[in-house]
Amino acid sequence: MTYITGVGLTSYGKHEGLTSLDLMSKAAELATADAGLKRADIDGILCGYSTVSPHIMLATVFAEHFGIRPSYAHAVQVGGATGLAMTMLAHHLVDAGVVKHMLVVGGENRLTGQSRDASIVALAQVGHPDYEVPLGPTIPAYYGLVASRYMHEYGVTEEDLAEFAVLMRTHATTHPGAQFREPITVADVMASKPVASPLKLLDCCPVSDGGAAFVVSREPSNAARVKIRGCAQAHTHQHVTAAPRLSELGAEISIARAKQASGIAISDVRYAAVYDSFTITLAMLLEDLGLAKRGEAASRVRPGYFSQDGQMPLNTHGGLLSYGHCGVGGAMAHLVETHLQMTGRAGNRQVRDASLALLHGDGGVLSSHVSMFLERV
């Protein structure tokens, strides 16, 4: 049995002058304090990667910098799925008694630490070096390809996808830490600059600076009792050229395994935190996870099903699309927000009931998936 005993999150956007280690430290400090722990209580560290400051031993670089000497430490790399993959690993290591308090941390000055072009070039390297990258694709193009096929097979429109950008922005307007807080409309999304068809600028998450962290512990260390009920992964491919057909993608496999591991059904879920690098990512994942019928996710957005006071509040901090995306920390913000909701600390964003939450992360081009259920006990 394991608990998420503390969470920490910086604002996302520009943090001029701060390094990846600075942002990781800020988030780690917040999470440790939130758990009611001291640095010396932390005996394990899992961290992600930084594209701005790559290092072959980032976890020990961070441990030294932060001032702890853990008995277990290393980095994890699964693209956008890294945050939840680290949480899953922390859950199993803590449950097995390897460590008592695992600090999970991610942070990067991705926006101010390098040019936006450099960031796009670095990320496009998830493509095949011989058979894809020479063609000049970008991450939005990889997802644009998937979107074109999804729209073709299920009759989803660009206006449907735009609904998700509007929803995430509406949520972000209520969070002071979000990178983008100006309300937008479907017409704004449709009129935004083309990036990689059918995706336009407002269908894409931004590049951000930021950091996020949490502590996974064997016993509750404070009043927050958020238990990891079960989690699972699925990895079907790396490159979009080698992806299976839409009906065989990994989200459906990982959620089925997570349901089995936890004994939880989708009908039990009260709050959802789902990876949203692009509007198409969110639309597809919601449907793959069973939170909407195939091709119908957008029609659930319009009447407010995924809104703060709806039946299934979703990414109430604004998601990657509007809170921001700083790499590994990006999707960790989803878990931080979920924890705040589950412990009644979300302030003006608080939902009625977040007693049981489903989280899902995706890395690569729908390549790597992690599904997880959290329960307040």
Examine residue 121 and tell whether it contacts another protein (CB under 8 A): yes
Residue whose CB is less far from another protein, 79 or 107: 79
Q: Which of 357, 174, 144, 323 is nearest to 240 (CA)?
A: 144
Q: Which of 152, 293, 302, 352 binds another protein (CB under 8 A)?
A: 152
> Omega into 198 within 30° of 0, i.e. cis?
yes
- The token pair at 38 is 């001291």
Query: Do 277 and 195 meet the contact criterion of CB atoms below 8 Å apart?
Result: no
What is the spatial distance between Cα 354 and Cα 308, in angstroms, rounded to a whole number? 11
What is the spatial distance between Cα 290 and Cα 274, in angstroms, rounded to a whole number? 12
- The token pair at 118 is 């450099």
- Tell me how far, at minimum, the Cβ of 200 lies from another protein, in Å: 9
The one segment of 71-79, 116-124, 247-255, 286-294 that binds another protein by CB under 8 A: 116-124
The count of residues interacting with another protein (CB under 8 A) is 34
- Tell me how far, at minimum, the Cβ of 179 lies from another protein, in Å: 19
What is the spatial distance between Cα 239 and Cα 94, in angstroms, rounded to a whole number? 33
Q: Which of 114, 192, 241, 307 binds another protein (CB under 8 A)?
A: 241
Examine residue 124 and tell whether it contacts another protein (CB under 8 A): yes
Q: Strand, helix or coil at 215?
A: strand
Examine residue 48 and tell whether it contacts another protein (CB under 8 A): no
Query: Do 86 and 62 meet the contact criterion of CB atoms below 8 Å apart?
Result: no
Residue whose CB is less far from another protein, 138 or 355: 138
- Which residues, 8 to 27, sit near another protein by CB under 8 A? none
- The token pair at 170 is 């509406």
- The token pair at 358 is 């489903």
Binding mask of the shown chain, residues 251 to 280, with x at each position contacting another protein by CB under 8 A: ------------------------------
The one segment of 196-204, 252-260, 298-306, 360-368 that binds another protein by CB under 8 A: 196-204
What does the binding site for another protein look like in residue numbers (CB under 8 A)?
117, 120-121, 124, 128, 130-132, 134-138, 140-142, 144-149, 152, 193-199, 239-242
